[in-house]
């Protein structure tokens, strides 16, 4: 351990390298991420359409106040047909996002937890564990576009998709079922794809959580005669709670960003309304015609998304915070205060 005097010397002579080494990160972050984020916040208060197009009622240079937020969130109360349509679209997208997220997260966490417990069970000897892990994580690394293509060809609307051909061959269906253009089936399909892609990842994260639990606790439970169900509910589950909450929250943030699959799971050029998420809404609004886009609505939706993410992110930190470290910090601060007060008093006496 260096003494405080040594530390001071070190910090005096080398501090500038700290700035030099971290500078590229911060410069690039400010240009490519923070500035666009600020721009997004500004754009949320401005109009839609480009300044050169006269036909649009508002342009990107018109300050609109909270009008965009109002339209998106409460447009249904207005009389303008366009505002009602945008509000309906956003509400539908939000509903889709929540529905698909809930529908994929619950089965995913149950399945992953079950698998993680099986894989870490000491009593069941399991050759080939590595193989199963590799296979179950594999869907996660395949490009989402290819996954969408894969499931489009398996569950497409046409009578030549694999599912339709099998179901018709077995006599279950008379004619082809439109899996993609039916609301319920397309949502279930997206949920299934999300589970398919992410359960391996969640499983491995939970496994490392379980392996982090002190092994002697399981042994103690074993010696006390607990069966596997009791061990799970009384030992594993309570100790895994914080990592599960972490998984839940990061998965919620990830779910809000869900884009690739909902955007690509359709045939032809029209997007599938039943699985359109908020991220797709944002993308579509400014990207469809990027020379005269609806930046305002898109940015307002982004701000709403940002606020939700920020709340969830704050919860993550609240859950993950190191309680002991905070306690030590508090004590250190109190000691510092005490020391300063003493110094000040001492100084006063000196005068």
Partner 1 sequence: MSKKVTYAGENSTSFQTKVLVKSIFIYIALILLTLVCLLPIWILVVNATRTHAQIIDGVSLIPSANFFKNLNTLKTNDLYTQFFHPIRGMFNSLIIAGSCCALTVFFSGLTAYGLVVYDFKAKGPMFSFILAVMMVPSQVTAVGFMKMLVSLDLLDSYIPLILPSIAAPAIVFFMRQYMLSSFPLDIIEAARIDGSNEFRTFLTISIPMMKPAFAVQAIFAFIQKWNDYYNQSLVLVSGKTNQLTVPMMVQKVLAIDRNPDFGANYAAITLSIIPVVIIYLILSKFIIGGVAAGGVKE
Per CB under 8 A, the list member of 90, 177, 274, 286 interacting with partner 1 is 286
Q: Which is nearer to partner 1, 321 or 341 (CB)?
A: 321
Report, in Å, the least distance between residue 345 CB and partner 1.
Answer: 28
Residue 250 in the binding site for partner 1 (CB under 8 A): yes
Binding mask 25-64 for partner 1 (x = CB under 8 A): xx-xx--xxxxxxxxxxxx---------------------
3-state helix, strand, coil in the chain (%, to 5): 75, 0, 25
SS3 category, 65: coil
The stretch among 116-124, 174-182, 229-237, 325-333 that binds partner 1 (CB under 8 A) is 116-124
Asked whether position 20 contacts partner 1 by CB under 8 A, the answer is: yes
Q: Which of residues 59-98 bind partner 1 (CB under 8 A)?
A: none
Using CB under 8 A as the binding rule, whether residue 149 contacts partner 1 is answered as yes
Structure tokens at 275: 């699985």
The closest of 323, 300, 112 to 208, measured between CA atoms, is 112
222 part of the interface to partner 1, by CB under 8 A: yes
> Can residue 315 be called a binding residue for partner 1 (CB under 8 A)?
no
Beta bridge partners, 164, equal none
Interaction between residue 14 and partner 1 (CB under 8 A): yes
Provide the sign of the torsion angle of the four alpha carbons 48, 51, 55, 57, taken in this order: positive
Q: How far apart are CA 102 and CA 335, in angstroms?
A: 47
Is the Cβ of residue 73 or residue 167 nearer to partner 1 in the bound state?
Answer: 167
Q: In angstroms, rounded to a whole number, what is the distance separating the alpha carbons of residues 13 and 220?
A: 53
Determine if 311 is a binding residue for partner 1 (CB under 8 A).
Answer: no
* Tally of CB atoms within 10 A around 136: 19
Give 180-246 as a DSSP string. Answer: TTSHHHHHHHHHHHHHHHHHHHHHHHHHHHHHTS-HHHHHHHHHTT--HHHHIIIIIHHHHHHHHHH
Residue 139 touches partner 1, criterion: CB under 8 A: yes
254: contact with partner 1 by CB under 8 A: yes
- Tell whether residue 102 is a contact of partner 1 (CB under 8 A): no
For 2, the token pair is 């260096």
Residues 144, 173, 239, 245: which binds partner 1 (CB under 8 A)?
144
Is 225 one of the binding residues for partner 1 (CB under 8 A)?
A: yes
């Amino acid at each position: 351990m260096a003494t405080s005097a040594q530390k001071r010397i070190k910090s005096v002579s080398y501090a500038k390298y700290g700035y030099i080494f971290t500078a590229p990160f911060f410069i690039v972050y400010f240009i490519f991420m923070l500035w666009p984020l600020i721009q997004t916040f500004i754009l949320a208060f401005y109009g839609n359409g480009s300044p050169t197009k006269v036909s649009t009622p508002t342009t990107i240079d018109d300050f609109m106040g909270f009008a965009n937020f109002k339209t998106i969130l409460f447009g249904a109360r207005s009389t303008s047909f366009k505002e009602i349509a945008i509000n309906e679209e956003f509400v539908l997208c939000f509903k889709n996002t929540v529905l698909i997220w809930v529908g994929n997260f619950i089965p995913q966490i149950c399945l992953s937890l079950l698998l993680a417990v099986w894989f870490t069970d000491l009593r069941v000897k399991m050759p080939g564990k590595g193989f199963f892990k590799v296979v179950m994580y594999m869907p996660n690394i395949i490009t989402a576009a290819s996954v969408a293509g894969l499931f489009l060809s398996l569950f497409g609307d046409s009578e030549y998709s694999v599912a339709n051909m099998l179901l018709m061959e077995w006599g279950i269906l008379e004619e082809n079922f439109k899996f993609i253009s039916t609301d319920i089936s397309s949502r279930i399909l997206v949920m299934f794809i999300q589970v398919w892609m992410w359960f391996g990842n969640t499983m491995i994260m939970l496994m490392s959580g379980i392996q982090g639990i002190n092994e002697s606790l399981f042994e103690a439970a074993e010696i006390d005669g607990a069966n596997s169900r009791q061990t799970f509910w009384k030992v594993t589950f309570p100790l895994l709670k914080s990592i599960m909450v972490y998984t839940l929250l990061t998965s919620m943030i990830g779910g809000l960003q869900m884009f690739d699959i909902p955007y690509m799971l359709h045939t032809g050029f029209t997007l599938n309304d039943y699985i359109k998420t908020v991220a797709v809404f944002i993308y579509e609004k400014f990207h469809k015609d990027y020379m005269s886009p609806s930046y305002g609505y898109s940015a307002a939706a982004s701000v709403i998304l940002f606020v939700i993410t920020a709340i969830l992110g704050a919860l993550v930190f609240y859950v993950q915070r190191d309680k002991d470290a905070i306690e030590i910090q508090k004590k250190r601060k109190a000691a510092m205060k005490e020391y300063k007060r003493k110094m000040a008093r001492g100084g006063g006496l000196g005068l």
